């Protein structure tokens, strides 16, 4: 199979480590000497159709090295949903630039793009290796133990909830509760990760609601009342995508993106945190706060997990290795070998098994009442997060 040129792009939301994967691809491709040029799609698949390319082989070594610690999407991202009428143009550009390796770094929808482009070229008789590189803070990709970007975003959320919990605990005579909303449209991995914020009994979060379990107002009010009785204040974490038993989003959002996914937070004009805040205020008369995180935690470079960044980099290098071996139609995957000591191996997952689908948290990762992650999830998540700062409190020695 011809090597020709390699093209790489980034799609979907940014993370603090997606550029580390990009650096891995560039360095491995250039080191191989197997490609005439290494190109970068400016604005993802849209940039390819518009012939907007970075010549990545002409980038300085310090620039490529610097990508490993730079958040955001250096190539600029896209959320374009492929249409049938796009394929003739895509094939035309691939042929024009003799592109024989097509890569995208991204999540479920991105893997669908790689899968469809690779399949179209195969049907048209054009030799092309299509390989996906995993990226999503939501951690909802099938075929991989976890996704690059998740651990860093989890750490950011964990620290936010821990610090917010200290504030809420100390201000409980003024504010009786705090509600913190994480991103995660269909899966509760990020919301669940905030359980690691607890240092000792009584710390927040007390309640965590994930999209994998249907939400009821009655259960929530009872949960909050019990938490308040036990601790004198309530810390709630909610995933943005939680729904009522009939499937209606708790956020009340009906806005959809180009992939027919419900938009939450600022984009949707509604939020789960605001709704839960209203429920507690109206039922109990409590005063409280709500906190909503969006893209800031996705690209929080100050709280990036170095292990996460290294794994992202290795995924990029692995993608090039697979392409040079003639592999196509796969996504690079992370397979966990051991928890203690933590170790992984890189493998592959078929794109057709990954595309468009979202991987929910297993039932065993959620407690029976559906308002907190289980110990099994804590055991899964703990090796991904480095040591957290310890906060102290005064001893109970009153006059």
Q: Hey, which bits of the chain come out as E strands?
A: 5-10, 38-41, 53-55, 99-106, 129-134, 177-182, 207-209, 234-239, 288-292, 330-339, 342-350
240 annotated as ligand-binding: yes
138 annotated as ligand-binding: yes
63 annotated as ligand-binding: no
Sheet holding 53-55, edge to edge: 53-55, 38-41, 5-10, 99-106, 129-134, 330-339, 342-350
Sheet holding 234-239, edge to edge: 207-209, 234-239, 177-182, 288-292
Q: Where are the alpha helices (DSSP H) in 36-107?
A: 44-49, 61-67, 87-96
Give the list of residues 6+ apart from residue 89 with CB closer than 8 angstroms, or none.
49
311 annotated as ligand-binding: no
| Torsional class of 346: left (φ above 0), alpha (ψ -120 to 50), beta (otherwise) | beta
Contact 136, 107 (CB under 8 A): yes
- Evaluated on CA atoms 319, 321, 327, 332, the torsion sign reads negative
137 annotated as ligand-binding: yes
> Cα–Cα distances in Å, from 86 out to 147, 262, 320?
29, 24, 26
Q: Which one of 138, 186, 223, 300 is the catalytic residue?
A: 138
Interatomic CA distance for residues 297 and 200, integer angstroms = 25
> Cα–Cα distances in Å, from 201 out to 72, 204, 215, 255, 285?
37, 9, 25, 39, 26
108 annotated as ligand-binding: yes
Q: What would the two tokens of residue 277 be?
A: 């805040």
Phi, then psi, of 189 in degrees rounded to 5: -55, -45
Residue count of the chain = 399
Phi, then psi, of 127 in degrees rounded to 5: -70, 115
Give the list of residues 6+ apart from residue 387 with CB closer than 8 angstroms, or none.
none
Catalytic: 246?
no
- The annotation places the binding site for substrate at 136-138, 240
* Residues contributing to the annotated binding site: 13, 108, 136-138, 240
> Which residues make up each annotated binding site for diphosphate?
13
Active site residues: 138
Binding residues for Mg(2+), as ranges, are 108
């Amino acid at each position: 199979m011809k090597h020709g040129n390699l093209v790489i792009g980034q799609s979907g939301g940014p993370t603090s480590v997606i550029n580390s994967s990009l650096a891995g691809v560039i360095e491995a491709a250039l080191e191989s000497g197997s490609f005439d040029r290494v190109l970068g799609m400016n604005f993802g698949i849209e940039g390819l159709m518009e012939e907007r390319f970075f010549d990545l082989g002409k980038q300085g070594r310090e620039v490529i090295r610097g990508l490993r610690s730079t958040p955001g999407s250096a190539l600029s991202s896209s959320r374009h949903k492929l249409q049938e009428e796009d394929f003739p143009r895509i094939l035309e550009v691939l042929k024009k630039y003799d592109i024989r390796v097509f890569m995208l770094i991204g999540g479920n929808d991105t893997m669908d793009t790689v899968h469809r482009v690779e399949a179209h070229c195969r049907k048209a008789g054009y030799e092309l290796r299509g390989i996906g590189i995993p990226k999503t803070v939501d951690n909802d990709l099938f075929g991989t133990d976890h996704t690059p970007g998740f651990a860093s975003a989890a750490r950011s959320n964990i620290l936010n909830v821990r610090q917010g919990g200290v504030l809420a605990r100390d201000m409980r005579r003024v504010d009786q509760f705090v509600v913190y909303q994480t991103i995660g449209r269909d899966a509760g991995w990020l919301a669940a990760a905030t359980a690691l914020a607890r240092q000792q009994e009584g710390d927040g979060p007390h309640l965590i609601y994930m999209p994998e379990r249907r939400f009821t107002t009655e259960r929530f009010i009872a949960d909050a009342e019990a938490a308040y009785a036990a601790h004198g204040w309530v810390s709630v974490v909610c995933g943005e995508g939680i729904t009522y038993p009939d499937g209606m989003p708790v956020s009340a959002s009906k806005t959809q993106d180009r992939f027919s996914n419900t938009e939450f937070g600022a984009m949707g004009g509604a939020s789960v945190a605001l709704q839960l805040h209203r429920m507690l205020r109206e039922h109990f008369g409590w005063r409280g706060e709500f906190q909503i995180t969006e893209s800031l935690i996705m690209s929080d470079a100050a709280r990036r997990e170095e292990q996460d960044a290294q794994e992202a980099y290795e995924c990029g290098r692995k993608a090039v290795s697979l392409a040079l071996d003639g592999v196509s139609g796969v996504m690079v995957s992370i397979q966990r070998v051991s928890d203690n000591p933590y170790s992984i191996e890189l493998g592959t997952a078929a794109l057709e098994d990954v595309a468009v689908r979202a991987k929910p948290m297993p039932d065993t990762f959620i407690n029976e009442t559906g308002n907190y992650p289980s110990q099994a999830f804590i055991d899964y998540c703990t090796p991904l997060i480095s040591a957290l700062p310890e906060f102290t409190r005064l001893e109970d020695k009153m006059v």
